[in-house]
């Protein structure tokens, strides 16, 4: 009788271990990375990247990617909202068409400066998980959009009027940067400000 219980316990442990291992590998949850580093095979590309992470040029490259700004003067449905992620808007896209989209990286930290050649409204799209105290003086608009991401979903749209000249905008965060749209028509109405 004792042996029968031992066999059942052994079978249950085996089944549980198999299921746990499957989910650890599939979802890459703890202790996946520890086990992979200890027992997994590392490709040549992985080893090169690991060595490069401590080099100055690699850190500089990552900084430049994070600080990159792209201006799309005539937003169209299906455009990527960020310059480093394939996230698009899924709701009320018609409200954004024709606006200028300023693409920044999804996890940008630094504020950015732009030059406005006309007085205009700037729109930001907020995520509830971010710290949104920066936007106290901004006005909510009468529509929402939906930019789905892994860390948070941006829905609430707000706007603020800015006079022409240099404007400094907070990137948003800390979970994710907040998308930026400008209510301008035509090219060169928004320019990246380079103070270097």
| Band of residue 7 on the pLDDT scale cut at 50, 70, 90 | confident
Query: Is residue 131 within 8 Å of residue 177, measured between CB atoms?
Result: no
Question: Per-residue pLDDT averaged across 115-139, rounded?
Answer: 93
Helix (H) or strand (E) holding 143: strand 139-147
Indicate if the alpha-carbon torsion angle 37, 42, 47, 53 is positive or negative: negative
Q: What is the pLDDT of residues 33-83, one digit of tens each?
A: 777 776 666 677 777 777 777 887 777 777 777 788 888 888 999 999 999
Query: What tokens appear for 101 in the block?
Result: 């989209």
pTM of the model: 0.69
Question: Per-residue pLDDT averaged across 78-96, rounded?
Answer: 93
Q: What is the pLDDT of residues 99-122, one digit of tens each?
A: 999 999 999 988 999 999 989 999
DSSP letters, 102-125, are EE--TT--S-EEEEESS-EEEEEE
């Amino acid at each position: 009788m004792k042996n029968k219980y031992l066999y059942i316990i052994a079978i249950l442990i085996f089944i549980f271990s198999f299921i746990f291992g499957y989910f650890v590998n599939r979802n890459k949850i703890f202790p996946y990375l520890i086990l992979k580093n200890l027992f997994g095979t590392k490709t040549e590309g992985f080893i090169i990247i690991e060595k490069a992470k401590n080099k100055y040029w690699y850190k500089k490259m990552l900084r430049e990617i994070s600080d990159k700004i792209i201006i799309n003067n005539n937003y169209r449905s299906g455009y990527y909202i960020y310059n480093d992620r394939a996230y698009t808007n899924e709701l009320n896209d018609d409200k954004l068409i024709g606006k200028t989209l300023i693409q920044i990286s999804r996890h940008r930290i630094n504020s950015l400066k732009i030059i406005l050649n006309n007085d205009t409204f700037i729109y930001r799209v907020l995520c509830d998980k971010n710290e949104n105290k920066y936007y106290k003086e901004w006005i909510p608009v009468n529509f929402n959009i939906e930019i789905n991401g892994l860390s948070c979903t941006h829905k609430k749209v707000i706007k603020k009027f800015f006079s022409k000249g240099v404007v400094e905008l907070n990137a948003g965060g800390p979970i994710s940067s907040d998308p930026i749209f400008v209510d301008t028509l035509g090219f060169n109405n928004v320019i990246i400000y380079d103070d270097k």
